[in-house]
Structure 1
Amino acid sequence: MKVVIMAGGKGLRFWPRSVETKPKQFLALTSNESMLQQTYQRFSKYVDVADIYVVAGSSYIPLIREQLPLLDPSRMIVEPYQRDTGPCMALTARFFLQQELDDVIVTTPSDQYIPDDAELMNVLREAEMIARKDESIVTLGIVPTRPETGFGYIRADANSTLGQAKRVLRFVEKPNEQRAREFMKEPNMYWNSGIFIWKPSTINYYMKLHQSEMWNKLWLSDLPLEHVYASLPRLSVDYAILEKAERVYTIPVHFVWDDVGSWNALERVFPTDERGNLFFGDVHSLHATNSIIYAEGQKVVAIGVNDLIIVSTKDGLLVCPKSEEQNIKLAISMMEASK
């Protein structure tokens, strides 16, 4: 089994700490190591380092080399441009198949918090056995612990199983709060972890079937990869093939997991003070409650604030109600577009 760590995201919801030149996967958010370093260490305990790969955009290769100096350059899968997870997975499959390698691969985000790595590996070994068969795709479904609106969901069929795995009926987009509360009552609804276990030939099979134009460009064009990749559509792998694939299974898991996708996620990793606050850096408060405040390189004084996210770095200042954090990405995208 091989592991492919996806390290190409922009992490806009962690702005202004996460910026395009150094997004969140390269930041130390939950420990003294960056999220990428944690992910690499998590798998290197159980998988030969020669079987760990990283896929990312070309602009991030210097950061990867700096943070993972032992990673051989031959195990870096380089995207010329960012084109979302659909083209990223197609390129990854091509990378292995061109070397006539078709071992099961685990494709995993680089920014997840999973303290129980032993239990993770136990589940991945079971998923590996399923993924060897008949173009089967396996994902890990996290048993929900709260009505979460920031994650996608998986609806599974309890009557169609393969060991602990359940057949996936459909992938569900991020819900509003009412739907998230309804999902909590359904016994076969799980958070979509974004961790997939499959063979390169399985990706090949479904790409040829459902995204033939993109797949043919990658395989048949005589143009340099940079030219081909620039013409590929921005598609998530969920939309590109997973929602259309015939044999997708999910293994429900109960271990602690978080995608650390936004500032509020840090409250699920670190304890808050007696007033419900979480402070980082040189922060001073008076009558502040239930707030997350991050100060980098300067003092921050917060008086009488409640339920706010306040982040001050050299790249900018964010002031946002915690309930509005899902709009941070939209607001930053609008700001960038207005330049």
Structure 2
Amino acid sequence: MKVVIMAGGKGLRFWPRSVEERPKQFLALTSRDSMLQMTYNRFRKNIDAADIYVVARSSYITLIREQLPYLDPSRLIIEPDQRDTGPCIALTARFFLQQGIDDVLVTAPSDQYIPDDKALMKALLEAERLAGKEKSIVTLGIVPTRPETGYGYIRAASESIAGQAQRVLKFVEKPNEQRARELLLEPDTYWNSGIFIWKPSTIDYYMKLYQRDLWNKLWLSEEPLETVYATLPKLSVDYAILEKATTVFTIPVHFVWDDIGSWTAMERVFPKDEQGNIIFGDVYPLHINNSIVYAEEQKVIAIGVEDLIIVSTKDGLLVCRKSEEQHIKMAMDMISAAKSSD
């Protein structure tokens, strides 16, 4: 089994600490190590270094080499540009198939919080056996603990096959609050972890079936990869393959897991003070409640506020109601559009 760590995201919802030049996977958010280092070390405890790869856009290669100096350059898969997880997974499969390698792959995000590496490995070994079968895709489904609107969900058949695995019936898009509460009560419903286990030949099969134009461009074009890759559509692998495939399974897991995708995720990792706050840096709070305040390189005074996210870094200032944090990415898209029009 080989592991491919996907480290090409921009982490916009963690702005202004996470910026495009140094996104969240390269930041120390939950420990002294960066999220990328934590992810690599988690797998390295159980898997040989020769079987761990990192895929990321070319602009992040320097950061990766700084943080993982022991990573063999031949274990680095370079995306010429960021085109979402669909093209990223396709490029990864092409990388292995061109070398005649068809071992089971674990494709995993670089920014997840999973403190129990033994439980993770146990689930992956079970998934490996199932993913080794022709055309089988296996996911890890997280047993939900709250009505979460920031994750996609998996609906599975009630009966188990091949151990813990259940056949996936449907992938559910990120729900609204009401639907999330309903999903929490529905049996055999899990959070989509974004960790997928499959063979390169399986990816090849489904790409040819559902994304033939994308796949043919990667394999058949005579133009340089950099030119071809820029023309690929921005598709998530969920939309490109998973939502359409018929032989998909999930293994329910109960270990602590968090997609560190936004500022409120910090509340699930760090303890709150008596007023329900989480404070980082040189912060002077007075009469504040249920807030997250982060200060970097300057003092921050917060007085009489509640349910806010306040983040101050050299790259900007964020003041946001916690209930509105899903709009941070929208605001960043507005900034990008404004820059493009200048």
Question: Structure 1 length normalisation: TM-score?
Answer: 0.99
CA distance in 2, matches of 1:189, 1:334: 35
What's the Cα RMSD here? 0.6
Pairwise CA distance, 1:158 = 1.1
Give 5+ residue unaligned stretches, structure 1.
none
Find runs of 4+ consecutive structure 1 residues off by over 3 angstroms.
none
Q: Which amino acid aligns with 2:323?
A: S
Aligned match of 1:167: 167
CA distance in 2, matches of 1:72, 1:187: 44
Pairwise CA distance, 1:160 = 5.7
CA distance in 2, matches of 1:67, 1:271: 27
Q: For 2:161, what is the secondary structure of its paired residue?
A: strand
Pairwise CA distance, 1:316 = 0.1
Aligned match of 2:218: 218
Aligned match of 2:26: 26
Aligned match of 2:196: 196
CA distance in 2, matches of 1:328, 1:60: 23
Say yes or no: does 1:65 pair with 2:82. no
CA distance in 1, matches of 2:332, 2:294: 18
Aligned match of 2:88: 88
Percent pairwise identity: 76
CA distance in 2, matches of 1:226, 1:39: 28
Pairwise CA distance, 1:152 = 0.4
Aligned match of 1:265: 265
Q: Which amino acid aligns with 1:288?
A: I
Pairwise CA distance, 1:335 = 1.7
Q: For 2:259, what is the secondary structure of its paired residue?
A: coil
Per-residue CA deviation, residues 238-282 of structure 1 (Å, 9 max, x unaligned), is 000111111000001110000110000001000000000000000
Q: Which amino acid aligns with 2:258?
A: D
Per-residue CA deviation, residues 1-32 of structure 1 (Å, 9 max, x unaligned), is 00000000000000000000000000000000
Per-residue CA deviation, residues 129-178 of structure 1 (Å, 9 max, x unaligned), is 00000210000000000000000000101136332110001111000000
- Matched ranges for 1:1-339 at <5 A: 1-159=1-159, 161-339=161-339
CA distance in 1, matches of 2:261, 2:162: 31
Question: Structure 2 length normalisation: TM-score?
Answer: 0.98
CA distance in 2, matches of 1:238, 1:81: 19
Aligned residues: 339
Q: Which amino acid aligns with 2:181?
A: R
Q: For 2:159, what is the secondary structure of its paired residue?
A: strand
Q: Which amino acid aligns with 1:202?
A: T
Q: For 2:285, what is the secondary structure of its paired residue?
A: strand
